[in-house]
Amino acid sequence: MVILAVVILVVAGVLVWVNVSAQAAVSASAVLTVYLPATSIQHGSGGAFAQATSGSLVRAGDSVQTDDKGRAAITLPDGTFTRLATGTTIRLDSSHFSRSGSLHDSKLSQQIGRTFTNVQHLVSGATFQVAGKSASATVRGTKFEVYITKDGSMTVKLYEGTVDFHGKNHVHLTAGEQATADPDGNIGAPGPILPDPNDPFGPDLAASNAVTAGTTPGTEQDYIGRPLHDGEQEEFTYSYAGGGLVMASLGYPGSSMKLTVEAPDNSSFSKTGPSPIVQPVNNAPGGIYRIVVSGLSGLGAAGETPFVAVASVEACAGADVDQLGAVHRGYAAGDLASAVQVSGLSNLKLSVNSNSVRGAILTGTGTYDGIGWSGTVVLIPRNGLLDIMAVSATVFGLSVPGQQIVQQIGSAIGQDPSTVNPGFVIDRLFTCNSILMVDGRVGP
C-alpha cells in the first residue's frame, strides 16, 4: 500500500513533458454510501437514473436520488459529507482540489428533499455551496440542513458555523438559526430552529455529537438501519484494535429502543432511554464489536429508522496491530520514506499533511536518476480498498498533469495504480499529528 502510494510521486520525476491541462484544477470525486435502498445515480445530464451501490464514484455532473425509502450520503476526499433523506435529489455540479491536495471548491444543486451537510474546515479562499431553485447557501466549516419543497421553497437550518443565504436578498445565519426562501427567492428573517417531527437529521446529529467528545477525530463510523418495529432488531459491526475507549450512540425519533454493545471478549453492555442513548466501553479490548439496536415499544406501523454512531480513542503514533480480526496501522512520514527502496531514487522526503478525519494528503520531494521532482497525492478509502489520486507534480519546476502521471504508471506496471488492496478491508483512513492511520478488518 505504502510503496504504490509513493511510486506515484517517484514516477513524476521521469516525466519530461508539460501539458496545458496541468494548470487546470483537478476534479475531486465523491464516494457514495447507500444506507437504505433504493438510491440511484444519473451520470451526466440527460441519462437515466440507475440503481447504485455503496462505493460508487460521484463525479462532477452526476446526480444522486433516493426514493421514498432510500437513505444515502456522498463524501468528498476531505471528509465533507452530504446525507440524503428519503425522496431527495441532488447533483454534484463541481468539486476541485487545490494543488496542495486540500478541497478548493465544491458546489451542489438540490432539486427537492432534505440534506444534511457537514463541511470540514476549508482553507483560506475555499468555498462550499448548495444551490436550490431560488436561492443558495455558501458555508465554511459548517453543519447545516437544506429542505426544498415541491414548490421550490428552500429552508436552511444551521447547527454549527455560519451560512450566507443568498436569493433576491441576503441573510447571514449563525448557529441555531434557520431561514426560508420562497419560490421567488425572497428570504425571510432568520429565527430559531423549529422542531419538525418529520426531520430525520435532529436525532442523527445528536447521536453523532455524543460520540465525538473525548474520542479521536477520524474514528467515527455512522450507520442507518432499516425501519424497526416492536420486537425487531438491527445490528452493525465496528473494528477496533484495542487500547482505549469505544463509544456507541443511538439516535431515533421517539418511542422506546435499546442499544447493546457486544465486545470481542464476549462482554455485553446495554442501555435504554431517550434519544440519544450513549454506551461507552472502557478499556475496550481489540477485535470486532457488534452493535445491536432493538425496537421495544411504540414504534408504530411504519416503524422508526435508527441512527448509530460509533467512535473510539486511538494513539496518534506508529503502529502495527492485529487483534481478533481487527487491524490497525500507523505510519509516520519518516517510516514511509525509509521503507521505500527504488533504484535511482535519492533524497526522498515525505510529509503527511495536516489533520484529516478522512483520507490523507502525502507530499514528496526527491531526485530520480538525477532529475528533481515533487508531487502530492490524496489517499481515500473506498469499498475497503485504497484509492490514490495524483493531485499535482513538478519536474524541473514545471507542472505535470496528475492524470498523465496515473496513465504513465499504469503503462509501466501493467495495472491500475489508483486502487490498492492492502491485504485487509479498510474501514477508516485518517491522519492525526502527521501520522497516517488505517483501521480495518480481516475478511468481509
**Torsion angle, CA of 243/380/44/88, rounded to 10 degrees?**
20
The answer to whether 391 and 402 are in contact (CB under 8 A) is yes
Work out the average pLDDT over 60-74: 97
pLDDT band at 4 (very low <50, low <70, confident <90, very high): very low
The answer to whether 74 and 63 are in contact (CB under 8 A) is no
Q: Is 79 left (phi over 0), alpha (psi -120 to 50) or beta?
A: left
The answer to whether 157 and 178 are in contact (CB under 8 A) is yes
Q: Name the one residue in this structure whose C-alpha cell is 447533483.
A: 91
pLDDT mean across residues, the chain: 88
How far apart, in whole angstroms, are the C-alpha atoms of residue 347 and residue 338?
11
Write down the pLDDT at residue 20: 37
Determine the topology of domain 215-315 in CATH: Jelly Rolls (2.60.120)
Highest mean pLDDT among 363-377, 383-397, 408-422, 425-439: 425-439
pLDDT tens sequence across 79-97: 999 999 999 999 999 999 8
Highest mean pLDDT among 123-137, 233-247, 324-338, 358-372: 233-247
pLDDT band at 12 (very low <50, low <70, confident <90, very high): very low
How far apart, in whole angstroms, are the C-alpha atoms of residue 186 and residue 11?
54
Reading the block at residue 52, the C-alpha cell is: 447504485
pLDDT band at 24 (very low <50, low <70, confident <90, very high): low
How far apart, in whole angstroms, are the C-alpha atoms of residue 155 and residue 102?
29
Q: Name the one residue in this structure whose C-alpha cell is 474520542.
A: 215
Q: Does residue 16 carry a pLDDT above 60?
A: no
Instruction: Map the chain to HEC letters.
Output: CHHHHHHHHHHHHHCCCCCHHHHCCEECCEEEEEEECCEEEECCCCCCCEECCCCCEECCCCEEEECCCCEEEEECCCCCEEEECCCCEEEEEEEEECCCCCEEEEEEEEEEEEEEEECCCCCCCCEEEEECCCCEEEEEEEEEEEEECCCCCEEEEEEEEEEEEECCCEEEEECCEEEEECCCCCECCCEECCCCCCCCHHHHHHHHHHHHCCCCCCCCEEEECCCECCCCEEEEEEEECCCEEEEEEEECCCCEEEEEEECCCCCEEEEECCCCEEEEEEEECCEEEEEEEEEEECCCCCCECCEEEEEECCCCCCEEEEECCEEEEEEEHHHHHHHCCCCCEEEEEEEEECCECCCEEEEEEEEECCEEEEEEEEEEEECCEEEEEEEEEEECCEEECHHHHHHHHHHHHCCCCCEECCCCEEEEEEEECCEEEEEEECCC
The answer to whether 31 and 55 are in contact (CB under 8 A) is yes
Write down the pLDDT at residue 371: 77
Specify the higher pLDDT residue, 13 or 304: 304
Task: Choose the weakest-confidence range: 15-19, 153-157, 229-233, 347-351.
Answer: 15-19
How far apart, in whole angstroms, are the C-alpha atoms of residue 286 and residue 322?
8
pLDDT tens sequence across 341-394: 666 677 888 899 889 999 999 888 888 777 787 888 889 999 999 888 888 877
Reading the block at residue 364, the C-alpha cell is: 514528496
The answer to whether 235 and 291 are in contact (CB under 8 A) is yes
Q: Name the one residue in this structure whose C-alpha cell is 440534506.
A: 115
Reading the block at residue 75, the C-alpha cell is: 463524501
The CATH classification number of 27-192 equals 2.60.120.1440
Reading the block at residue 143, the C-alpha cell is: 453543519
Write down the pLDDT at residue 334: 84
Q: Side chain identity at 45, as an amino acid letter?
A: S
Q: If we measure between CA atoms, which residue out of 241, 372, 258, 263 comes closest to residue 313?
A: 241
C-alpha 159 chain-centroid distance: 19
The answer to whether 46 and 443 are in contact (CB under 8 A) is no
Specify the higher pLDDT residue, 164 or 389: 164
pLDDT tens sequence across 170-213: 999 999 999 999 999 999 999 999 999 889 999 999 999 999 98
Q: Does residue 319 carry a pLDDT above 60?
A: yes
| Rounded percentage of the chain residues whose pLDDT exceeds 90 | 69
Q: Does residue 19 carry a pLDDT above 50?
A: no
Spell out the residues 6+ positions from residue 258 whose beta carbon is closer than 8 angstroms to its own: 270, 271, 272, 277, 293, 294, 296
**Cis peptide bond prior to 77, omega within 30° of 0:** no
Q: Does residue 8 carry a pLDDT above 50?
A: no
